[in-house]
Amino acid sequence: MQSGNLRKVAIVGANRIPFARSNTAYADLDNQTMLTDTLKGLVDSCKLQGERLGEVAGGAVQKHAADWNLVRESVLGCGLSPYTPAYDVQQACGTSLETTILVANKIALGQIDAGIACGVDTTSDVPIGANRGLQRALMKANAARSTGDKLKAAVNMLRPSYVIPEMPQNSEPRTGKSMGQHAQVMADRWSISREEQDKLALASHQNLAKAYDAGFYGDLVMFYQGLDRDNNLRANSTLEKMAKLSPAFAKDGTLTAANSTPLTDGASAVLLATDEWAASKGLPVLAHITAGETAAVDFVDGHDGLLIGGAYALPRLLDKRGLSLQDFDFYEIHEAFAAVVLCTLAALDSAEFCKEKLGRDTPLGSIDMSKLNVKGGSIATGHPFAATGTRIVATLAKTLDEAGSGRGLISICAAGGQAVTAILEK
């Protein structure tokens, strides 16, 4: 499958719309509209009108049946050449980091020279399915051939219980617990205090506010639907305000609305290419993606925390590159919940966890927290599930570019006990 030697893969452009809390600025928009507009913004900023790229890969977690070809349809409306292939991927919250890795691998192998990774999600337009009984009755009615059979099928559809729709469930199918409930279990297991969580959440808002005020996001976030920045940002948050909130997922729990991500709508995209292709288009090399790793844990029977996958993926990633956890200038760890970030870091610094779960003689150690999510994290920006990965890739790539050199580590936890991780370098 390889054509020649492995090639370096650069992040050369990025765009996203401001992320918006569910049922606010984007309440009337759908995934295709947001993704198409985001891709169009990237096409315009990088002057790619009519360009045939190697491929566009992306996806959404919450997706209507009619969106079965979501990314391809968005490509057809964004200004790229209609000869650009596209496909959908879904790996929960890790979706667009996974698509970044997929596109990067094809570039590295010489199969394509450039491509886009992207993601979108809206919880303002979630798919509501027909009642299972009604759905089966409709299928029988559609298959009926005689008038009598059609009438029988029609009468069968009149049951009152069939009127009740199938609503999306905010819970893990295997456990019945919501992601927040699972995160609370993790916080309890690792003895993560509410004060620690609130401090991390406050830093997320403060760092995002500073980045916006400094103009960092000026060329990464487009003006859209009246927004010029993420509307979940609370620049005036304080620990005192956060302390007044009630627990969100357990009566005496430590997780609250302030130290958890809200339901969010949004889309993001990054342009990946070889250095040579970027030079031919006059585009900058912001950073290179140099490694990726995924993991899954047994959160059902193995007593692993649902969102602890990063503590398994990161050690494997580091070992393959011969790096230590401390060999990084910046860390981007997805803040699904502040507790999850802190649990993951605690696990990596735990001799017991590293010995029993990872088979390592010594723990990976701790990190410098001043290097964590320095331009704001998911708690402040919001978290449109499939859009978070490329939001983080773009942010880290520009952070490294502004620094002039360095190395950054990304870790994103995902539903189903999974995680996606990557390394960016300048």
Q: pLDDT (tens digit, 9 = 90+) per residue, 161-175?
A: 666 666 666 789 999
pLDDT attached to residue 165? 67
The one catalytic residue among 205, 288, 334, 383: 383
pLDDT attached to residue 1? 62
For residues 138 and 342, what is the distance between their CA atoms, to the nearest angstrom? 49
The one catalytic residue among 46, 78, 354, 413: 413
Average pLDDT, the chain: 94
pLDDT attached to residue 150? 73
- Give me the mean pLDDT over the 10-38 stretch: 98
Q: Percentage of the chain surpassing pLDDT 90?
A: 87
Active-site residue 383, yes or no? Answer: yes
Q: Could you tell me the pLDDT band of residue 9, with boundaries at 50, 70 and 90?
A: very high
Tell me: the pLDDT tens digits for 85-135?
Answer: 999 999 999 999 999 999 999 999 999 999 999 999 999 987 766 567 667
b/e per residue 5-34 (b: at least 16 CB within 10 A) = eebbbbbbbbbbbbbbbbeebbeebbbbbb
- Under DSSP, the state recorded for 422 is E
pLDDT attached to residue 336? 97
- Residue 160, judged by CB atoms within 10 A of its CB (0-12, 13-18, 19+), counts as exposed
> Which residues of the chain does CATH 3.40.47.10 include?
179-216+255-260+290-425
For residues 220 and 233, what is the distance between their CA atoms, to the nearest angstrom? 16
Count CA within 13 A, CB hemisphere, residue 361: 0
Cβ-Cβ contacts under 8 Å for 360 (sequence gap 6 or more): 315, 354
Q: Could you tell me the pLDDT band of residue 160, with boundaries at 50, 70 and 90?
A: low
- Is the pLDDT assigned to residue 338 strictly greater than 90? yes
423 alpha carbon, distance to own chain's centre: 16
Sign of the dihedral defined by the CA atoms of residues 227, 41, 395, 413, in that order: positive
Q: Could you tell me the pLDDT band of residue 141, with boundaries at 50, 70 and 90?
A: low
Quickly list H helices, 322-387: 338-348, 351-356, 378-381
pLDDT attached to residue 132? 73
Q: What is the pTM of this model?
A: 0.94
- Is the pLDDT assigned to residue 185 strictly greater than 80? yes
**Closest-CA residue to 247 (of 291, 303, 184):** 184
The one catalytic residue among 46, 78, 93, 118: 93
Tell me: the pLDDT tens digits for 365-400?
Answer: 999 999 999 999 999 999 999 999 999 999 999 999
pLDDT attached to residue 151? 73
Query: Across 128-194, where does the E strand assignment appear?
Result: none
pLDDT attached to residue 36? 98
CATH 3.40.47.10 describes domain 179-216+255-260+290-425: yes
Q: In degrees rounded to 5, what are phi and psi of residue 140?
A: -70, -40
